[in-house]
Amino acid sequence: MLDQENNPVPLQTKVLNIWSDRSIRWLLLDFQASIEENSPATISYELMNPNNLIIRLYHDSDRHAWDHFVMDHPGGTFFHLIGWKRVVEKSFGHASHYLMAVNSSKLKGESHNRQ
């Protein structure tokens, strides 16, 4: 997310609902905005998707594609593999919600959101 001067704005997201194909239906965006007292404010957004990427939740059937992507990525580590997700969940009872960026069913990138 960028401000009017194209500076990054810290942003937290939470998936609230998904479609049957596991793409995101409702997404909560949480960020701070500086608004002057007694002044009208307009916040707008533009969805930019030049690569026709679909952001969706990770599903167990994606494990092979996810781990293959991580192993082929120069910055990928053991901590990015799905096995680590399971370690955290089983050890701490902590649910991890992973998102995937896909294009034509090919994995393009991923991130995780700790809640």
Quote the CA–CA distance of 92 and 84 in Å, as a whole number: 12
Instruction: Check the CA dihedral 80-99-63-84 and report its sign.
Output: positive
pTM of the model: 0.51
Q: What is the pLDDT of residues 97-114, one digit of tens each?
A: 788 877 754 555 544 444
- The angle formed by the CA atoms of residues 66, 26 and 111, to the nearest 5 degrees, is 25
Quote the CA–CA distance of 100 and 109 in Å, as a whole number: 6
Q: Where do we find the tokens 């990054």?
A: 8
Q: How does pLDDT run along the chain (115 residues), one tens digit per residue?
A: 667 676 777 888 888 888 887 777 788 888 887 777 777 766 666 566 666 667 777 888 889 989 998 898 888 899 999 999 899 889 998 878 788 877 754 555 544 444 4
Per-residue pLDDT, 112 = 46
φ/ψ (deg, to 5) at 64: -60, -50
φ/ψ (deg, to 5) at 69: -60, -45
> Residue 23 has what DSSP assignment?
B
